[in-house]
Every structure is written in C-alpha cells, then in structure tokens.
Chains A and B, each alone.
Chain A
Amino acid sequence: MPHTVSLTTNEFRLQLDDSGVATVWIDAPDASVNKISRDTLDGFSEVLGHLEQMNDLTGVLFISGKDASFVVGADLNMLAQAASPTDVRSISRRAHRLLWRIDTLGVPTVAAIEGPCMGGGLELTLGCTYRLASTHDATKLALPEVKLGLLPGGGGTQYLPRRIGVRVALTMIMTGKNIYPRKARDLGLVDALIHPPGLYGAGKRAVRQLANGTLSAPSKTSSLTNRLLEDNPLSRRIIYRQARRRAEDRTHRHYPAPPRIIDAVRTGLERDLDAGLDAEMQHFGELAFTPESQALVEIFFSKRVRETHAHAEDAQPVSTVGILGAGNMGGGIAQVTAAQDLDVVLKDQSFRQAAQGKKQVWSAFNRDLEKGILNRFERDRATERVAPTDTYAQMDHCDLIIEAVPEDLSLKRTVLSDIADVVADDAILASNTSSIPIAQIAEAVPHPERVLGMHYFSPVADVPLVEIIVTDQTSEAALATALDLVETQNKTAIVVEDGPGFYTTRILSIYLNEALLLLEEGADVPTVDQIMSDYGFPMGPFELLDFVGIDVASKITDVMSDHFPLAPEDISDSAARLADAGLLGQKTNIGFYHYGPSDNGSGKDRKDLNQNIYRNLGQTRRATPSPAIVQERLTLMMVNEAVRCLDDGVLRGPRDGDVGAVFGLGFPAYLGGPFRFIDQKGPSEVTKRMRDLAYQFGDRFSPTKLLIEHDHRKTAFHDYWSVHG
C-alpha cells in the first residue's frame, strides 16, 4: 500500500509506493499555482532530508499537485523583501545546494511537467535525471528572468547549457522565450512527451525503468553539428561573441543582465561547474539591486494586476462583437477577438473592404499555422469567426460594438447613431478613437451611458494595452463589460477619464511636438531617431510619425492644440505642412523616410531618408543637440505631461500611467514608466532638470504643479498614491 510520509511543510506532499517509488507533489497551500518562495525552499529541504534517509528508495518523481501548472517561477516578493545583494545571493546558494542534493540521492529522479514550468521550476527539473512533459496546451518551459533584468539564479545558467548545448541555452536564457512541448523534446529540454492523463503513470514507470535499467538516462543530447560547434573553446568563444552582439542590438546596453548571463555561462563552461555557480550567484545578487531590474519587476507586477472594478458583476455577456471599419485597426481588433472564440461581424462601406479586413485576420492566423501554433482546422475556425459585411442588418445581435472608422467626429457620431438604431438598447458602443473626446461622440447616441472609448494601439495584435475611456455618463455595466472583453482579448487595460487625447495620445503628442520642434531647430531626422531608439524606445519619433501617419498626427495636433499647456509658438505646425505636401508617411510610401515592401512580405520596410524633408521645411543646415539633451527634452516633456494627467484626474494613479506608457507607447521598460522614472531619479532631481531646460529652451519645460508638490514633500509618486490615491 502506498503511504504518505508526514511532513511539517505544507508546500509538498510525499508519498511512497510499494515499489519504492517516492512521489513528491509540489502543492503550495491555498494557491492555484506553485511559486518558489522561502517556504518552498525550506519544505524542499525537508523532503530531501526524508528521501536521503530512505534505504530502499527506487527513485523519485517530482510532479505538481496543481491543475495544469508545474511551477510558475520564483515568488518575486521573496526578492523584493531581500535587504541586500548578500540576501539574494544566499537564496541562490540554497537553490544550488538543493540541486546538488537531488543529484547525490543516488537514485533516478524524474520531473513530470504539465503547464507552465518557468524559472526556478525549470531549474528544479534540470537537476533531475529525466524529464517528462505532458502535451497539455498550457505546457511551456522558459527561463524568463532576463525580462525582469535578472538571470536564472537557481543553477539555470549552468545546468541548461550542459543539457541542451550552449547556443540554444544562451538563446533561451537571453530571450526568456517560451518553449512548447514538441520543441522542448526536439531540443532535448525534455526527454519524452505523454498525453495529460498519462503523465503521472508514465512518470512512475520512468522512475522504475530507469532504476531497473530498461530505460537509460539520456546522455548529453547533441547533434554532430552541435558537438563540432560547441565542443571546443574556440568556437564557443564565437558563440559568446555572437550572443553578446545580438543582445546589444536588441537592448542598446540598457539591460544589465545579458552580459552577466554570458559571463556566468562562460565561467561555468570554460572553468568548471562550481566556478560557474559562484559567478551566477554573484551576478544574481547584484542584478536584483539594479534600478533597471527593480523598474522591470514593478512594471511586470503592475501589468499583471487586473484593473479592479467595483462593479465587475455588472458586466454583460458578450458573444458577438461588431466592428465598424475594416482597416488596419478594425482588422486587428477582429483578429484578437476571433482568436478568443468570440464571433465578430466586421463592417465596412463596401463588402470588398470588409473582406480585406478578414484577409488581414486570415493572414495573421495563417502565419500562426506556418509557425506550428495553429493547425489548419484551428486557423479556419478562428478566421471564420469573422463575418464581413457592408450592411448594418447583420449586426443586430451584436452585444458590443467597436467603431474603428477614420478619425472624424461627425463620421464617428454618424456610424454610432446608425448602429444604435440596429442593436439592442443596452448593447455597449465603444469608440476606438485616439484623441476625440468620447463625450462629444456620445452626444449623438441614445442611451449615452453605454458609450465609452476603447483605444487600441497599432499593430493591435502586438501591443498589449487597451486604454478604456469613460465619460461622466458611462455606466458601471458598460465599463465592466469592456474590461471583461479586454481581459478576454489577453490585453491589459487602463481606465482613464475622458478628455482630448485621454492619457496616451496626450503624452505622446507632446513628445512628438517636441521632436518636431527639434527638427525645426535644425536637428537631423535619422540622428534623433537613432538617439531615441538607443534610449530604448521601439522606434524613433519621426519613424513613429511615419508609422501613424503624418496627417493623423496633424489632425491630433488640431484636436489637442487648445489643450496643450504650450504657448502658440511652441506648437509645431510641421506635421500639417508636410501632410499638405502629400507626405503622409508609410501609407504613401514617403514621409520622413521612403518606404517599400518589406523583405518578409508583410508590411513595409523603412528605406532611405527623404532628402527633401528639410527643404519642405525651408532648412538647409543640420545640427543635432547631444544625445543626452535630445533624450531629456523628449522624455521630460512626456513625463511632465503624464504628471499633469494625474493632477487633472485623467489618470487614476501612477500605476495606470506607467502601464499605459510602457505597454501602449513603448516607453522604455527599464525606466519603469513616467512615474517610476521620477521616483527612481527623485522628484527633486527631475524638477531641477526641468527648470534648467526651461531656462535654456523655454517655459514649456516648467515642472507641473503636482511635480513641484512632490519635490517639496520629498514624496515618491508610487508610495504616496498607494496611500493617498
């Protein structure tokens, strides 16, 4: 009879069956997932103590007691509570010691993986003799620490290269990307796959067969090319160099983890395991105390906190979403909606245009098919969710409408009042405007309490943010329904109050205005773009203007200009002038740059600079300020406006401001968002820099009132608002 060994820890359960196979159930109390905390480490140590005392132990199986979730990673609170790098290093040291104890049990150890197996969870499996994964849809393996500015501190930098080879291991650790079961087996990250219901039984059989020799532990899985490439120090040196160069291209050296990851891996392979583990532990401790890592951890927490809503139970069920306008935005919203098994009716003026929107959806799902993420049937079913139409008649049963027609108040009013006649009186009506005040749109609609803004960002499938805009009249039910939909679409929401440009467009347009002022002063377009992408923005301001459309930017300036805290002479009219000259950006293949079809066939690629751009603005000489000045001018204008949004009540708190800027606009994540940026630099330092800039470049840099208050009180935004907000 199998019996349960009684433990003092409640993080694990330990069972022993008649054949001497011990099963260690990882099963944190009162939680739906397992995280690695101090309690977990203590409990694991206790479990190993029992196992070490057992004389007739055949082997050990590690498996999760949770539903389709192995271990989601380290409990970040454990790191947040650490007082010093020494503290963090001691956590790393304990983890290394536990892996060593698994290894020295002297019996086969098997990890049976189902669901997410992340970070410390994956490191635990790397200490085992054999890894078995279920083909459950939720199964994925990753070492995501790099995304938080860290490295895997539980032995991952050492055991992973030894298991799957240094090249693939470096890629996994440096990108943090998910590996799915079949790929994991191909890489040798796991040794076998099994369907979910067979996982436990197969895990026990694997232990017994490893013990009796009918199954042998995999040797270092490596193809011949891998061995040739990796088994000598010279070619490994090339691999390290390539990895470093790739990381620099991607992160512009703002992220401190990648070089330290390479160092830890290298130390372990070129010297020995112990030296490598020491290097890993050292780096882990230091990285955890870099401002970049702390900002990344914060923003990661903020993104995961679901927008809490007091009336969540008022949400209305949504099974069919109607989308008006089948352009890029409409098509993108259709895609992320259909991908979650909701029906979509996609309307445009002509059936042909609507069908092109469906084509965009199909193309996206077809790319997933080519990547092996979807099979043909799944692609077909998801695509077929989208029904194109040119008439409102087929939209009467839609539960929620999102209009994504061109940015024109009267057009938006017209389509929403037209659709209001067709759908039920309580169907939610959302506008995907980027700047027009929702209240002005809602005026035209009967029952304006069901109107709100749902501002998606382009490209919709890639940008994780949706900015929800509520008016004074918007009902709690409408907001709750929109929040539900955004969550269903796997997006992160921020809720902001109505006003011109809401939050994101407001801070972005003032940022772009500053870029255009730089241009008018004589700055060089590609140089400014390079400076800002070096700083960590996904693209430079002029590339961004080309991407959104210079005419669109000009229209937004029109809407915003009365509300800008700027003197008229500080509002650039360059966008309007360029738009008048027919330079609209990517859509006309010419703006600040020339554009042509991209090499991979989807979208457009930037080609050369449009040399006429300066002549269009009547300039000849180029002189760009220093990178530091460019970065400060652009970033501080944005940050200052974000504070003003908080002061105006457009923002409900600094969390929304940071999440909106980082996930909607690509504000550099290592800076943590506008408010984390101020908090890390200190309100006093930021205020002082702004006053310096105001002296040099004009009053538009004057720090806003709320920023000065924080300077006087010496309070950080996040701390202060978590108490007073």
Chain B
Amino acid sequence: MSDTPHDHTAVLVDGCRLPFQRSGTGYADLMAYDMGRMVLRGLLTRTGLSPETLDRVVMGTVIQDVQTSNVAREAALAAGIPNDVPAFTVTMACISSNQALTSGVDLIRVGIADRIVAGGTETLSDPPVRVPRPVRKRLFEARKAQNAIDYLQLFDGLDPSDLIPEAPSIEEFSTGEVMGESADRLAAAFGVSRREQDEYALRSHRKAAAAREAGHLDADLYRTAVSPDFDPITTDNVIRDDTSLDKLRSLPPAFINPFGTVTAGNSSALTDGASATLVMSKEVAEGDGYTPEAALRSYTYVAQDPGTELLLGPAYAIPQVLDDAGLTLDDIGVIELHEAFAGQVLAVLEALQSDTFAEEQLGRNSAVGTVDLDTVNAWGGSLSLGHPFGATGTRLVTTAAHRLGVEDGRWGLVAACAAGGQGHAMLIERLP
C-alpha cells in the first residue's frame, strides 16, 4: 500500500464533475454515457491534456444500460479520446468510482501506466425496466419462429400479469432488505436519534449552500448545457436552501412505519451526474508541466455482513489506512465521508469512538478516535449535493483535494460505504 521503490507515486492532477441534478430534472433525457462523455470532455478541456497520451480510462457505474455496458469506453470515444486508449468500467455499488480511481492508482504504481482518467457516471432518471421473465423467455424463443402459428404458440401459457414491466430491484439481493431499512436499523443500533439525523441533514444542506455561495464548489464544477435547448446547468440542484429543522421533522419515516427514523429528508436523493479525475505518476505529471494537487496514498477496501452492517464499511476501513500511514484521526485536516443516510454517517462516527466496537469488531484495545465534525464534509455531502451512485467516489476525492488547498491542510481522508456490505477509505496528501 505504500509507494513502490521507483517512486511511481500516483497523484491527482485535477478533478471535476458535472453539476449534480436531482433525477428527472436537468439530465432527465440523458444516458449515463452522455454524462460520462461530457465530464471527460470537461476534464480534457480544463487540463489541456492531449488525449493521445492517456494510458487508460476507468469509470464506475452502478445501474448499467445494456446499450453501453462498458460505458467508460463509449464515453471515452465520444469525448474524442483516441481509439487506441483502452477503457473499462467497474462496478462496486456506491464506491464504484473509488474502485475506478484505485484501479488507476494500481496501474501507475506497478509502472504499467502514467496517465489515467478515472471517474464515474450515473443516471437514475432512466432505470432499465425489463419485461418479466416469461415474456423474455418467449422473446428469446421467437428468434426461431418461422410462421404465424409459431408466433401464436408463443402466447401459450402467458398470464396477462406477465406483461407488466419490472422496475429494477432496489432490495439487497442477498438479504431482501431495502437499504433504507438497513440504515434505520444501523442508526438504532448505535443509538442515533431521529433529531440527530435531521440536524445532520440540515447541516449538510447549510454547508453545501454556504460553500456554493463562497464559490468553493466552482473549482469542482464543469458547467454544462444539454440538448436540445442548451440552457446552462451551472449549479447542483439537490441542495435545499429552504429546508429547516421543522420541515425535516415533519416528514414521515420512509422505510419503517410508523416508528422508523430514516426519512426522505435525511436520506440522499436520487441524482444524475458524472465526475472525473486526471491521475498521473508524479514524475510524468511534473514532466508534463502540471502542478498536482495531492498524492494518493494508502487505500483499502473492506467487506462485512450485508445483513447487519451493510453501511458500516468506513468504520472498518478508516483505521486500516490510518494505521498503514502511521497516522491518527488528529492528523487529518479534511474528511470527505459519503452521506448515504444521515443515520449511517452518525453511526460510523459513533463506531469510531466506541471502545466496544473497537474491541469486538476491530480487535483493538481502544476506540479509533473521535472525529472532529468540523473536518467532515465542510462543503456539503451526498445528502445535499446529491448522490449519483457511480460518480460520488471521485467527487469525494476531488473535493477533499480542493479543500486541502483552501483549508491549508496536509492530510485528507476519504471514506464511503456501499451496498453489499462493502466499504472504502483512502488517504490523500496535499502536494507539494
């Protein structure tokens, strides 16, 4: 997990994202491929990088479109990246673009690549709806049908209800539990109250709005305009400027009725968007005349029981990267922690400062430590900025790097949970 002897340190040269849009709004008519193309073009334009010099394009996505199953490749080609630059798509639920980024980091560290674009793209406006299995089966058989009688026979035994299309499943495949139910349970397990969750959600929106007003988000954003009208899309539209604790408290539980604590207000919203980063080996970045923003240091992936600890991954991953770098939470100036649910964020923070959790789950003598909330998501998080599944990971890293610059910090910590009970953490160090 440390640098290779010949110092192929992976560095973040630049990162950007499209303004995130609540699903069904600004990007409602786009495919994930469209947003991927747009953000890659944005990154190339911002950095002036000659795309011929790229070694690889890696992108994360969660809900795949069958037309573009390797969306990284289609987006890269459409962004004008030459045919001979390989591109691959990774999927790891909400940490897909973290996986995209670390795949690039690995290629750089072993000396296979020097210039990588890593990012992610996601539309939740247009989930792939399928016809039910009995119809699909008959459609497959229809390829062999020769005449009208063959076609008629295909209808044999078909129930009218078989014709109703199916939306993609939102339950965890292994447990049958919806993620919001898991979050509700997790909050309860760590004693996180409804009020704490609502207050945290409010904080997220306030922080995001303040950062937007201060212009901090501009450095992250590649403004865009989409066909056919090309009206500018220049800011994130998930941020609720008008929300209040009263409003949040008035919302009913979304998953566990009537006594659950997770609501639509303290959960992340369905969002469309894309993000991308330019990652290079330090030597080559400097040789090309770039001033890298941050070095990408230790990272890890963890996985737990998707039934009981679906969203607790960061509490396992964070101590691993801190230990690896010989750091403690006190050394960390900037934390970007994915906010799937307010209750999940607070449960993770609770776990980190729990001696019991440390002893029982991490095999440590004492708690990892108490997180200074001021260091966490100071420019808003997934609750307020939005959460396009496949694009969030590289947003976290880009924002962490930009925050290190503005806040004059040295170490940044990125962590996120993901469906399947998995999690990720990464340390970044501001350069120079």
Give the complex CA separation of A343 and B52 in angstroms: 13
Question: Of the 9-residue stretches B20-28, B75-83, B89-97, B143-151, which lies at the interface with chain A?
Answer: B75-83
Residues of A within 8 A of B232 (CB): 351-352, 355
Write out, one digit per residue, whether chain A residues 350-381 have a CB within 8 A of any chain B CB (1) or not (0).
Answer: 01100110110011001000000000010011
In the complex, which residue of chain B has the Cβ closest to the Cβ of A350? B232
Residues of B within 8 A of A383 (CB): 227
Residues of B within 8 A of A377 (CB): 74, 77-78
In the complex, which residue of chain A has the Cβ closest to the Cβ of B74? A377
Contact of A384 among B38, B48, B230, B234 (CB under 8 A): B38
Would A358 and B230 be within 8 Å (CB), given that A319-B50, A377-B78 are in contact? Answer: yes
Tell me if B234 and A351 are in contact (CB < 8 A): yes
Closest CB in chain A relative to B71 CB, distance in Å: 13
Tell me if A394 and B45 are in contact (CB < 8 A): yes
Q: Is B363 an interface residue (CB 8 A)?
A: no
Within 8 A of B (CB), among A312-368: 319-320, 341, 343, 345, 351-352, 355-356, 358-359, 362-363, 366
In the complex, which residue of chain B has the Cβ closest to the Cβ of A386? B41
In the complex, which residue of chain B has the Cβ closest to the Cβ of A343? B80
Tell me if B41 and A388 are in contact (CB < 8 A): no
Closest CB in chain B relative to A236 CB, distance in Å: 41
Q: Is A387 an interface residue (CB 8 A)?
A: yes
Tell me if B48 and A396 are in contact (CB < 8 A): yes
Closest CB in chain B relative to A322 CB, distance in Å: 11
Q: Is B213 an interface residue (CB 8 A)?
A: no
Q: Is A94 an interface residue (CB 8 A)?
A: no
Residues of A within 8 A of B225 (CB): 351, 355, 358-359, 388
Would A397 and B48 be within 8 Å (CB), given that A381-B77, A384-B78, A388-B225 are in contact? Answer: yes
Closest CB in chain A relative to B316 CB, distance in Å: 40
Tell me if B37 and A380 are in contact (CB < 8 A): yes
Residues of B within 8 A of A343 (CB): 44-45, 80
* Interface contact tally, CB-CB below 8 A: 60
Closest CB in chain A relative to B79 CB, distance in Å: 6
Q: Is B223 an interface residue (CB 8 A)?
A: yes
Residues of A within 8 A of B234 (CB): 351
Tell me if A359 and B230 are in contact (CB < 8 A): yes
Residues of B within 8 A of A352 (CB): 231-232
- For A, the interface residue count at a CB cutoff of 8 angstroms equals 26
Within 8 A of B (CB), among A525-571: none
Within 8 A of A (CB), among B75-117: 77-80
Residues of B within 8 A of A366 (CB): 227-228
Q: Is B247 an interface residue (CB 8 A)?
A: no
Give the complex CA separation of A358 and B42 in angstroms: 14
Residues of B within 8 A of A341 (CB): 80
Tell me if B230 and A380 are in contact (CB < 8 A): no
Give the complex CA separation of A343 and B42 in angstroms: 12
Report whether over half of chain A's contact residues are helix, strand or loop; otherwise say mixed.
helix
- Category for how many chain B residues contact A: 20 to 34
Residues of A within 8 A of B74 (CB): 377
Tell me if B42 and A387 are in contact (CB < 8 A): yes
Q: Is A385 an interface residue (CB 8 A)?
A: yes
Q: Is B130 an interface residue (CB 8 A)?
A: no
* Residue of B44, B78, B223 ringed by the most chain A CB atoms within 10 A: B78
Closest CB in chain A relative to B41 CB, distance in Å: 5
Give the complex CA separation of A381 and B37 in angstroms: 8
Residues of A within 8 A of B38 (CB): 384
Tell me if A384 and B41 are in contact (CB < 8 A): yes
Residues of A within 8 A of B48 (CB): 320, 396-397
Closest CB in chain B relative to A392 CB, distance in Å: 13
Give the complex CA separation of A380 and B44 in angstroms: 16
Write out, one digit per residue, whether chain B residues 181-193 have a CB within 8 A of any chain A CB (1) or not (0).
Answer: 0000000000000
Contact of B45 among A345, A355, A358, A359 (CB under 8 A): A345
Tell me if B223 and A384 are in contact (CB < 8 A): no
Would A359 and B229 be within 8 Å (CB), given that A384-B41, A394-B45, A397-B48 are in contact? Answer: yes
Residues of A within 8 A of B79 (CB): 381, 384
Q: Is B137 an interface residue (CB 8 A)?
A: no
Closest CB in chain B relative to A617 CB, distance in Å: 40
Closest CB in chain A relative to B231 CB, distance in Å: 7
Residues of B within 8 A of A385 (CB): 41, 80
Closest CB in chain B relative to A479 CB, distance in Å: 25
Give the complex CA separation of A366 and B79 in angstroms: 17
Give the complex CA separation of A319 and B50 in angstroms: 9
Q: Is B34 an interface residue (CB 8 A)?
A: yes
Give the complex CA separation of A362 and B223 in angstroms: 17
Residues of A within 8 A of B136 (CB): none
Would A380 and B78 be within 8 Å (CB), given that A355-B231, A362-B228 are in contact? Answer: yes
Residues of A within 8 A of B230 (CB): 355-356, 358-359, 362
Q: Is B46 an interface residue (CB 8 A)?
A: yes
* Residue of A319, A366, A380, A389 ringed by the most chain B CB atoms within 10 A: A380
Residues of B within 8 A of A397 (CB): 48
Closest CB in chain A relative to B329 CB, distance in Å: 37
Give the complex CA separation of A388 and B80 in angstroms: 16
Closest CB in chain A relative to B221 CB, distance in Å: 11
Would A381 and B78 be within 8 Å (CB), given that A355-B225, A358-B230 are in contact? Answer: yes
In the complex, which residue of chain A has the Cβ closest to the Cβ of B79? A384
Residues of A within 8 A of B78 (CB): 377, 380-381, 384
Residues of B within 8 A of A358 (CB): 225, 230
Residues of B within 8 A of A345 (CB): 45
Contact of B46 among A363, A381, A384, A394 (CB under 8 A): A394
Residues of A within 8 A of B80 (CB): 341, 343, 381, 384-385
Tell me if B42 and A362 are in contact (CB < 8 A): no
Residues of A within 8 A of B45 (CB): 343, 345, 387, 389, 394
Would A380 and B231 be within 8 Å (CB), given that A341-B80, A343-B80, A387-B41 are in contact? Answer: no
Give the complex CA separation of A388 and B223 in angstroms: 9
Within 8 A of B (CB), among A192-222: none
In the complex, which residue of chain B has the Cβ closest to the Cβ of A398? B48
In the complex, which residue of chain A has the Cβ closest to the Cβ of B234? A351
* Residue of B41, B45, B77, B79 ringed by the most chain A CB atoms within 10 A: B45
Within 8 A of A (CB), among B216-242: 223, 225, 227-232, 234
* Residue of B37, B46, B77, B225 ringed by the most chain A CB atoms within 10 A: B225
Give the complex CA separation of A397 and B46 in angstroms: 9
* Residue of A343, A355, A385, A396 ringed by the most chain B CB atoms within 10 A: A355
Residues of A within 8 A of B227 (CB): 359, 362, 366, 383
In the complex, which residue of chain B has the Cβ closest to the Cβ of A345? B45
In the complex, which residue of chain A has the Cβ closest to the Cβ of B229? A359
Closest CB in chain B relative to A384 CB, distance in Å: 5
- Interface pairs A-B: 5 shortest CB-CB: A397-B48, A355-B225, A359-B230, A387-B45, A381-B78
5 residue pairs of the A-B complex, CB under 8 angstroms, read A351-B234, A355-B232, A362-B227, A362-B228, A383-B227
| Residue ranges of A at the interface with B (Cβ–Cβ < 8 Å) | 319-320, 341, 343, 345, 351-352, 355-356, 358-359, 362-363, 366, 377, 380-381, 383-385, 387-389, 394, 396-397
In the complex, besides A319-B50, A341-B80, A362-B228, 10 extra interface pairs with C-beta distance below 8 angstroms are: A343-B80, A351-B232, A351-B234, A355-B232, A359-B225, A359-B227, A366-B228, A380-B37, A380-B78, A394-B45
